[in-house]
Structure 1
Amino acid sequence: MLDAARTPPFGKLAAIALLAGAAAALASPWLCPWGLSAAMLIAAAIAWWRSPRWRVVAIAAFGFALASAHIAYALDLQLPAQWEKREVAISGRIVDLPVHETRRTRFEFRVDDDAQQPAPLRGGLLRLAWYDDDPRPRSVLKAGQRWRFHARVRAPRGLRNPGGADAEKYALMQRLTATGYLRNPEISQRLSAAQGLTAWRESICDRIAATVRSDGSRFVRALALGDTRGLKDRDWEVLRADGLTHLIAISGFHVGLVAGFFALLARALWWSLPMLGRRVPAVIAASVAAMLGGLLYAAAVGFALPTMRTWLMIAVIAALRIARRPVHGFDALALAAIAVLLADPLALLGAGFWLSFLGVAWLLWCLPGPDAGGWRERLRGFVSAQGVASLGLLPVCVALFGQASLAGPLANLLAVPWWSLLVVPLALLGTGLESVHAGAGEFAWRWAAACFEPGWPAFSALAESGLALWWLPEARWFALPLALLGAFWLLLPRGVPGKALAVLLWMPLLWPDRRLPGPGEAELVVIDVGQGLSVLVRTARHSLLFDAGPAVRDGFDAGERAVVPALHALGVRRLDQVVVSHGDNDHAGGIKAVLRAFPAPAPFAPPDIDGEAVQSLLTRACSAGTAWQWDGVRLRFLHPPAHFPYLKNESSCVLRIETEHGAALLTGDIGEVVERDLVRRAAQSPAQTLHAEVVLVAHHGSGGSSDPEFVQAPGARHALVSSGHGNRFGHPRADVLERWRRAGAAPRNTADDGALRVGLRAQGIGVETRRQAHPRVWDATRRADPGLSYRPD
């Protein structure tokens, strides 16, 4: 049994307790009130230091209260609901490298903290976009400049889907105040030229681009200063498939390398000038140099969270060496974790925290020490490290990203020593020399690119092999702890019995229950794609996708960013049918991205369909009367009839899904004229019946659809709306929703609820919303409630 009286205040158990308390606050859907958090924080801090018997409980309570206070503060920074969509005049500084895209430039902007700025935005961090068809933003927007803009702003908000990125969580981590775009950018005024470390960083990146003209230039910029703006979509696909993304962006390794170089430099100086050792011991000088060097580099790359996390770890170890305290692996790791959590408990929301600390913990536990024999033993240890990291971190990677790279161990075995010992040091050397004298670093950058380029084709080929990404469905909450326990069991020393049984603990994570419908049942998932539509229809052994969301010229493709991740997370392995209801971009824009990820038969579409999104696609007519049956479920098109001309919205495919337990009606963007025609045809032919318990409200709930006669015809219990939050069309109209309510249907809107999951099952018809099923304390819909305030009384 643990002796509570001997539990050190900053030991391994303290780190675990602090981690557990902070994680509990972040996992809770409810926010602890300010007053209670402050009182708990003070009481727990006193008990942490003065009450050894209750120390573990006190530390956990302290972690909970500290994380709750950080959450409350971060949410308090965000734009109040009453300021949504206001146009404001703001001045401030560009604080990161602007990202130039086809029709827009995105950048982070720190508003000045003075009385001339709008009160909710003073000192806040904004993510803004400059939309423009001309190349002017590329030449005028630079990191470190001060500008005056007119912008339309809104609180951070994102799509909520299975497998999708949580933009609201990211905004909380970054303490983001608002997002928005420039209004009348031509009247924007630059107040001062680029200054500071961010300006220096961009200038060095520009010099690398001008110096290294080969394909490796973009990777040298990424490895030297974290500038990933030049990487193409194909580059990221290869990196993800090979499990190498952690090596490209600025990571803890870069900070450690710079800190180690400064420590060696200090050691060399103290060795060459022995008189210095009489005043300051060499170990102290090296430790201070490592801290200062790491801090300088972290500042140069914009104090990114991974760099600051690593610098805190270096600072802890350096402080222990300065204090002449023995440094043991797990104790140093525990102190580093405590330092990171005390500085920013919201770091737990980032994947980097878990990958960093768990990776080091696995290696410390499993691998032999530095005195383990000669070069063969060291080589065996390096290979073992890759195996331990791959096995130990696999559960975390699957839980965080929904994927596992089978090529990852092999790719890392080659890339880690190659890039870490050659490419990264040369890239950093060039950066350092260039900082001292213009032109001095050019040779190092060219050598870095020359060392990188020969291996990239091999990694590209590996990414296209059968060892690439393995997508896994979204698992239940208990799957990760069980898999980590299984990994721990498997990595126990030889001779431990029952290791084969440990594999069973991985089953809930690697083969989770996909909640597939049974025979005669169906499931609909209305994916949250913003102002557009995409619906997945599943039976026991088949899948159909109805529309794929929008793709706009500024770079957002709902097919790639929302639909494809959702299909992967839901465990869809293939699409047996695809329907493009009509050619409008908000329905068909993402179809090409979906078909790249999920090959499928030629999509159904209205005859003579047109539109940029469906050009070059071979389609089949979704003519009324076309029907088929899957697993006891009947699917039938009700519109358009034969010889119906293509009239865009009015030609939308209308699909009815009939199960043994109820029916659903997918309507596309039809208007009142077609709705009344469907009612007339249903009265003439039983095969054209509109009866359905679940109806997708036509045209996102616009005023030109949902004819009163059509609303009454299905006898629906659930009316589903797919629309974007705060869209400029005002969809769905309040009177339309009220019309459906009076007809007995309960409306659900993706803008408010996220993805909608509807089951037509033997146990009944139910609707599960993403925001309700996976509640988060940072949920934007809860913040929009005027009765909920995060400000202290």
Structure 2
Amino acid sequence: MGRKPAGIGLASPPFGVATALAALLGALAVHALPALPPRWLDAALAVLAAALLLRPRLRLPGCVLLGFAWCALRADVALEARLPRELEGRDFTVVGTVEDLPKRQPDATRFELRVERARLDGRELALQGRLRLSWYDGAPQELDACSRWQLQLRLRRPRGLVNRGGFDSERHALEHGIVAVGYVREADSNRRLGERGGCVDRLRERLAHDIAERVGDPHDAALVRAFAIGDTRGLGPDDWEVARATGVSHLIAISGFHVGIAAGFGALLVRLLWRLWPRLGLRVAVPVAQAPVALVTALAYGALAGNSLPTLRTLMMIAIVALAHGARRGSGGAHALALALLAILVIDPLATLSAGFWLSFVGVAFLLGCLARGRGWTGWLRELGAGQLLMSVALLPLTVWFFGEVSLVGVLSNLFAVPVVSVVIVPLCLLGLLALLTLPVVAVLPLTLAATIAHAQWRLLESMAGWPGAHGYLPEVAPWALALAMLGAAWMFLPRGVPARGLGALLFLPLLLPDRPPPPQGAFVATVIDVGQGLSVLVRTHGHALLYDAGARYRSEFDLGEAAVLPTLHALGIDTLDAFVVSHGDNDHAGGAPAVARAYPQARRYAGEPARLDLGAAQCRSGQAWRWDGVDFRMLGPRPEALAAHSGSADNDRSCVLLVETASGRLLLTGDVSRRVEPAIAAAAGDGPPLVLLVPHHGSRSSSSEAFVAALAPRLAVVSAGWRNRFGHPHPAVVQRYADAGVALESTARSGALEIEFGRDAAPRLIARERERRARHWRE
């Protein structure tokens, strides 16, 4: 018998699920590396992969190697495109185009600029890519989407805070192709050069303006803009808090779900047209006609959405299904998903850094593999309800891994939110957009209806956000715990008849465990949280926790209490905060305090300047003391003379100064005290076990006198300061002063968060620098 020729169509084995998973495994291996391999090794692995792909039995190892080589090369090219380190802090003249939609905030307008050309000191510079910029003090109204500008910019490389549980802005910059960040300098040469033609963001901005004009309530208009074109600029922190608490964040901005609805809308229009003119069916079958219309509708709507990663995944799946229908061939859901995954890995393997990538593909994979298809409207409703339960449980481990948070009311809220959004709000938004583009006078009706329904739904969600269990926080998840929980989710949703499916829930239990036990009796651990130019320190004993300061809150509403301090506490499994000390009222110490106070209302509060805070804190005074789990806490300041002073220059000297002590080590937290009170603090601290010192006032030269350093003789000194901060902290003279005294100096600016262990019988030791602990190839 002759051998049957292998097919080369959509169902060809080389492009199946196993191939996609193998390539994904290779790309994922790159992201586990602390540094990228040299390019010659990428090339060698690619050649070896090509040789393996020619052998059917070795095809999967070849896909792994090829996925690794391609992802490593793309990451290397992207990192090399970043602003050179030696040019950080310089002023550049840049010509570029505004991408996406600029966001106007109280302190600045924030936007992204695609570089066309750049100059430094009059010479051309090879800088290409996207810049993330701020324009302070009133950006001109002409700064809009797709506009071209010549701007004077102060730039630096992307570098962010590094904490347990915190947002990784450096990974985010690599994922989005950000090569530098900075701000616009005031200059006469700043000017608009026109606009780029054929830019979809210009249309998005026009549609956003048209929606705002036709929907009276600003908040309702913001919701409609989010549902219609993915414009979330009108939604504030409180709105996102409600969305997270109720588990509906995926419904607010346009996602793959919305694009699928748009494709279905296009297919429905074709079916209606064929019913009105049945003779069309004699020329083209309905499924064949629906496929290209659904694809074009999805592509158009995806472009209006900004082509996010879940949107691209859905577009690719729709394109595969459309091609299969157009060619009158079948294409299973799993195969379509695998082809979409391969397409993403070929186009942009760095998309695997995104939480959206994993939530999108894993969620759809669970739906395809575990959800039985229903028939008719009742079957569709059962499928919808079961799908929400499936997605909530299956994606819970990934949600905790990426965000450290899970909503226990999310299943219930999604049961009504998903059908309302999919069946009512999004179709009305689509009709409104179609009317705005063709007959604007009739757009008011669908947009108003969408706004009314969105308003009612949002009020219900706001109520549910206050229910018990709306916010659930879990400790930082270890990779092995994530793997077990995902295995447990798959086990729970195996087909009926598989025995002991409920035991899969037991594999979720490791998600509840912190990655390390609490300190033993008589010991404590101090975590100096990376809050940039500010201060926040967490002290944990065996059964208690104290927080000293909470970082800054800025006019842009960026709150370090929310963004850095609370995620760290949640990642470390801090359910109860026993005491909260705000050293004094300056923003870089107290700005994030309200967020912490709301999250931990039961904590006893102390403050050096309670009158400057609205927290109901008690005045901290020298002499206050308590003991937790064999660890002594003692206030050394402010002294009575500092409290009696009322001049602005004395504010820093009213800082709470806290000494934490065990038999083998001490920690001294000093706030922003100056040389004026340092002698009294040193005398109150006295002699004792080895000391770790939080350097006063971030290393300002107004503090850390030679006499103070000599009197304390710390074993280790820690500076909490921002990278390349405008104050120049720590001052070089202060750094030299500690070096001359033989004191080791650590800085959060260089190392990220720092963790110091004070053992029961051992001297204090630095046990973790967060930038080293989370070393990855994208890390600065």
**Structure 2 residue aligned with 1:553:** 555
CA–CA separation in structure 2 for the residues paired with 1:635 and 1:407: 40
**Structure 1 residue aligned with 2:256:** 252
The equivalent position to 2:243 in structure 1, one of 228, 239, 246, is 239
Per-residue Cα deviation, 1:507-562 (whole angstroms, up to 9, x for no partner): 22133345311111111111111101011111111111111111222332211211
**Structure 2 residue aligned with 1:788:** none
* Unpaired runs of at least 5, structure 2: 1-5
Provide the secondary structure at the position in 1 that maps to 2:179. strand
Length-normalised TM-score, structure 1 = 0.91
Per-residue Cα deviation, 1:141-200 (whole angstroms, up to 9, x for no partner): 211211221111111111111111111111001101111111116763122157532111
* Cα displacement (A) at 1:297: 2.1
CA–CA separation in structure 2 for the residues paired with 1:366 and 1:308: 23
The equivalent position to 1:657 in structure 2, one of 652, 656, 660, is 660
* Cα displacement (A) at 1:432: 1.6
Range with bigger deviation, 242-251 or 509-518: 509-518
* Cα displacement (A) at 1:315: 1.5
**Structure 2 residue aligned with 1:785:** none
* Unpaired runs of at least 5, structure 1: 781-793
The equivalent position to 1:573 in structure 2, one of 567, 572, 575, is 575
Do the aligned partners of residues 368 and 283 (structure 1) sit closer, same or farther apart at CA in structure 2, a change above 3 Å counting?
A: same
**Structure 1 residue aligned with 2:635:** 637
Q: CA contact under 8 A between 1:634 and 1:659: conserved in structure 2?
A: yes
Do the aligned partners of residues 361 and 601 (structure 1) sit closer, same or farther apart at CA in structure 2, a change above 3 Å counting?
A: closer
Per-residue Cα deviation, 1:289-329 (whole angstroms, up to 9, x for no partner): 33322222222333333322221221222223334332122
**Structure 1 residue aligned with 2:770:** 770
Provide the secondary structure at the position in 1 that maps to 2:777. coil
Range with bigger deviation, 173-182 or 642-651: 642-651
State yes or no: 1:80 paired with 2:79. no
- Alignment-mate amino acid for residue 348 of structure 2: D
* Cα displacement (A) at 1:635: 0.5
**Structure 2 residue aligned with 1:790:** none
Q: CA contact under 8 A between 1:128 and 1:180: conserved in structure 2?
A: yes
**Structure 2 residue aligned with 1:562:** 564
Per-residue Cα deviation, 1:104-128 (whole angstroms, up to 9, x for no partner): 1101111224889975564421111
Q: CA contact under 8 A between 2:94 and 2:118: conserved in structure 1?
A: no
CA–CA separation in structure 1 for the residues paired with 2:716 and 2:667: 9
**Structure 2 residue aligned with 1:756:** 754
State yes or no: 1:721 paired with 2:724. no
Q: CA contact under 8 A between 1:692 and 1:714: conserved in structure 2?
A: no
Provide the secondary structure at the position in 2 that maps to 1:672. coil
- Alignment-mate amino acid for residue 346 of structure 1: L
- Alignment-mate amino acid for residue 492 of structure 1: L
**Structure 1 residue aligned with 2:3:** none
* Cα displacement (A) at 1:55: 0.6
Q: CA contact under 8 A between 2:230 and 2:304: conserved in structure 1?
A: no
CA–CA separation in structure 1 for the residues paired with 2:126 and 2:143: 21
Provide the secondary structure at the position in 1 that maps to 2:442. coil
Range with bigger deviation, 735-744 or 750-759: 735-744
**Structure 2 residue aligned with 1:14:** 19
Write out aligned runs for 1:443-454 (5 A): 443-454=445-456
Q: CA contact under 8 A between 1:760 and 1:766: conserved in structure 2?
A: yes
State yes or no: 1:676 paired with 2:674. no
CA–CA separation in structure 2 for the residues paired with 1:153 and 1:690: 47
Q: CA contact under 8 A between 2:578 and 2:604: conserved in structure 1?
A: no
Provide the secondary structure at the position in 2 that maps to 1:54. helix
- Alignment-mate amino acid for residue 394 of structure 2: G
Q: CA contact under 8 A between 1:266 and 1:285: conserved in structure 2?
A: yes
Q: CA contact under 8 A between 2:373 and 2:379: conserved in structure 1?
A: no
- Alignment-mate amino acid for residue 482 of structure 2: L
Provide the secondary structure at the position in 2 that maps to 1:464. coil
Provide the secondary structure at the position in 2 that maps to 1:406. coil
Per-residue Cα deviation, 1:443-468 (whole angstroms, up to 9, x for no partner): 11011112222222221111101030
Length-normalised TM-score, structure 2 = 0.93
**Structure 2 residue aligned with 1:127:** 132
State yes or no: 1:324 paired with 2:323. no
CA–CA separation in structure 2 for the residues paired with 1:290 and 1:55: 35
Provide the secondary structure at the position in 1 that maps to 2:633. strand
Do the aligned partners of residues 13 and 118 (structure 1) sit closer, same or farther apart at CA in structure 2, a change above 3 Å counting?
A: farther
Q: CA contact under 8 A between 2:580 and 2:603: conserved in structure 1?
A: yes
Q: CA contact under 8 A between 2:597 and 2:603: conserved in structure 1?
A: no
**Structure 1 residue aligned with 2:291:** 287
Provide the secondary structure at the position in 1 that maps to 2:133. strand
CA–CA separation in structure 2 for the residues paired with 1:304 and 1:497: 40
- Alignment-mate amino acid for residue 732 of structure 2: A
* Cα displacement (A) at 1:495: 4.4
- Alignment-mate amino acid for residue 384 of structure 2: F
Provide the secondary structure at the position in 2 that maps to 1:27. coil
- Alignment-mate amino acid for residue 627 of structure 2: Q
**Structure 1 residue aligned with 2:368:** 364
- Alignment-mate amino acid for residue 130 of structure 2: L
CA–CA separation in structure 2 for the residues paired with 1:643 and 1:413: 62
**Structure 2 residue aligned with 1:695:** 693
CA–CA separation in structure 2 for the residues paired with 1:267 and 1:497: 44
* Cα displacement (A) at 1:732: 1.3
* Cα displacement (A) at 1:394: 1.1
CA–CA separation in structure 2 for the residues paired with 1:119 and 1:169: 28
Aligned residues: 761
- Alignment-mate amino acid for residue 630 of structure 2: G
Q: CA contact under 8 A between 1:242 and 1:468: conserved in structure 2?
A: yes
Q: CA contact under 8 A between 2:606 and 2:620: conserved in structure 1?
A: yes
Provide the secondary structure at the position in 2 that maps to 1:40. helix
State yes or no: 1:304 paired with 2:320. no
Range with bigger deviation, 522-531 or 587-596: 587-596
CA–CA separation in structure 2 for the residues paired with 1:121 and 1:463: 49
* Cα displacement (A) at 1:16: 1.1
Per-residue Cα deviation, 1:643-680 (whole angstroms, up to 9, x for no partner): 4334112222211110233111111112223223333x
Q: CA contact under 8 A between 2:665 and 2:689: conserved in structure 1?
A: no
Q: CA contact under 8 A between 1:690 and 1:713: conserved in structure 2?
A: no
Write out aligned runs for 1:60-209 (5 A): 60-113=64-117, 119-120=124-125, 122-132=127-137, 134=138, 137=140, 139-184=141-186, 188-192=190-194, 196-209=199-212
Q: CA contact under 8 A between 1:291 and 1:318: conserved in structure 2?
A: yes
* Cα displacement (A) at 1:68: 0.6
CA–CA separation in structure 1 for the residues paired with 2:472 and 2:386: 23
Q: CA contact under 8 A between 2:160 and 2:170: conserved in structure 1?
A: yes
- Alignment-mate amino acid for residue 630 of structure 1: W
Do the aligned partners of residues 306 and 763 (structure 1) sit closer, same or farther apart at CA in structure 2, a change above 3 Å counting?
A: farther
* Cα displacement (A) at 1:488: 1.7
Provide the secondary structure at the position in 1 that maps to 2:396. helix
Do the aligned partners of residues 507 and 741 (structure 1) sit closer, same or farther apart at CA in structure 2, a change above 3 Å counting?
A: farther
Range with bigger deviation, 358-367 or 668-677: 668-677
CA–CA separation in structure 2 for the residues paired with 1:658 and 1:91: 57
CA–CA separation in structure 1 for the residues paired with 2:697 and 2:479: 36
CA–CA separation in structure 1 for the residues paired with 2:118 and 2:523: 60
Do the aligned partners of residues 28 and 763 (structure 1) sit closer, same or farther apart at CA in structure 2, a change above 3 Å counting?
A: farther
CA–CA separation in structure 2 for the residues paired with 1:21 and 1:702: 47
Do the aligned partners of residues 584 and 691 (structure 1) sit closer, same or farther apart at CA in structure 2, a change above 3 Å counting?
A: farther
Q: CA contact under 8 A between 1:160 and 1:528: conserved in structure 2?
A: yes
| Percent identity over paired residues | 45
CA RMSD of aligned residues (A): 2.4
Q: CA contact under 8 A between 1:531 and 1:727: conserved in structure 2?
A: yes
Range with bigger deviation, 385-394 or 552-561: 552-561
Write out aligned runs for 1:346-495 (5 A): 346-370=350-374, 375-495=377-497
- Alignment-mate amino acid for residue 351 of structure 2: A
Per-residue Cα deviation, 1:350-375 (whole angstroms, up to 9, x for no partner): 1111111111111122222345xx65
Provide the secondary structure at the position in 1 that maps to 2:723. coil
